[in-house]
């Protein structure tokens, strides 16, 4: 893991909070080209919007640079993990400037087997752990940007199937309405949950953004 929020030519931000049960959670993680970051505020420029979204299973960690002071606020500077470095390289080669990472669950578990086994309990006792739950409609409308490419890479797990089905239908409906690119890596048999396989598959399938819109 790196020690700052700088990653290649990108900066990292997130929204970190605690679930009602006290566990750490994250609403989103943004990887933003430095040219879109306001020099005065240190945050993404007000006019800047994500130009691509990837939806993963859950955050592996909660890593605000400012510790507890970085909780419960938008665009809290965040320390990137290895997967974020891989994703920054992916969007850089495809000419994207602003990636937003969302998750099927906000629950931060470093062990994927733990979050998978916890899903039935979460769905029963704490459905708001997911951005895709109806109780989170306001958050969904705020953080799920419409009309941009979406990559789904939350894997294939029996315990997450019901929520994944509902979330996929919601995303598909938006993509069809907006005519935007949708890549569902979770349906690909040759790709498992390994993050590098996901990134490599996305690199092959994700169209480049026209160079005229990219940072140079």
Per-residue pLDDT of the chain (216 residues; tens, 9 = 90+): 455 677 779 999 999 999 988 889 999 999 999 999 999 999 999 999 999 999 999 998 888 998 878 899 999 999 998 889 899 999 999 999 999 999 999 999 877 777 888 888 889 999 999 999 999 999 999 999 999 999 999 988 888 999 999 999 999 999 999 999 999 998 886 676 677 788 889 999 999 998 644 433
pLDDT value of position 214: 40
pLDDT value of position 3: 58
pLDDT value of position 126: 93
101-139 b/e (C-beta count within 10 Å ≥ 16 → b): bbbbbbbbbeeeeebbebbeebbeebeebbbbbeebeeb
CB half-sphere exposure, 13, CA atoms < 13 A: 23
For β-strands 98-103 and 182-184, DSSP reports them as unpaired
> Which H/E stretch holds residue 203?
helix 195-205
Among candidates 172, 9, 169, 136, which has minimal Cα distance to 85? Answer: 9
DSSP code for 210: P
Name the pTM for this structure: 0.92
């Amino acid at each position: 893991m790196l020690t700052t929020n700088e990653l290649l030519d990108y900066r990292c931000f997130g929204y970190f909070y605690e679930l009602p049960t006290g566990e750490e959670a994250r609403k989103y993680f943004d990887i933003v080209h430095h040219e879109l970051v306001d020099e005065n505020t240190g945050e993404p420029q007000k006019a800047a919007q994500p130009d691509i979204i990837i939806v993963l299973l859950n955050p592996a960690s909660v890593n605000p640079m400012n510790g507890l002071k970085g909780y419960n606020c938008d665009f809290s500077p965040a320390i990137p993990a290895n997967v974020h470095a891989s994703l920054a390289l992916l969007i850089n080669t495809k000419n994207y400037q602003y990636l937003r990472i969302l998750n099927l669950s906000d629950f931060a578990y470093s062990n994927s087997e733990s979050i998978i086994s916890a899903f039935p309990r979460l769905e029963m006792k704490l459905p708001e752990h997911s951005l895709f739950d109806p109780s989170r409609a306001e958050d969904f409308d705020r953080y799920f940007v419409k009309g941009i490419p979406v990559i789904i890479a939350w894997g294939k797990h029996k315990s997450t199937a019901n929520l994944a089905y509902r979330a996929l239908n919601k995303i598909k409906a938006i993509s069809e309405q907006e005519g935007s690119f949708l890549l569902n890596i979770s349906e690909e048999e040759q790709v498992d949950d390994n993050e590098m396989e996901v990134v490599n598959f996305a690199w092959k399938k994700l169209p480049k953004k026209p160079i005229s819109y990219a940072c140079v």
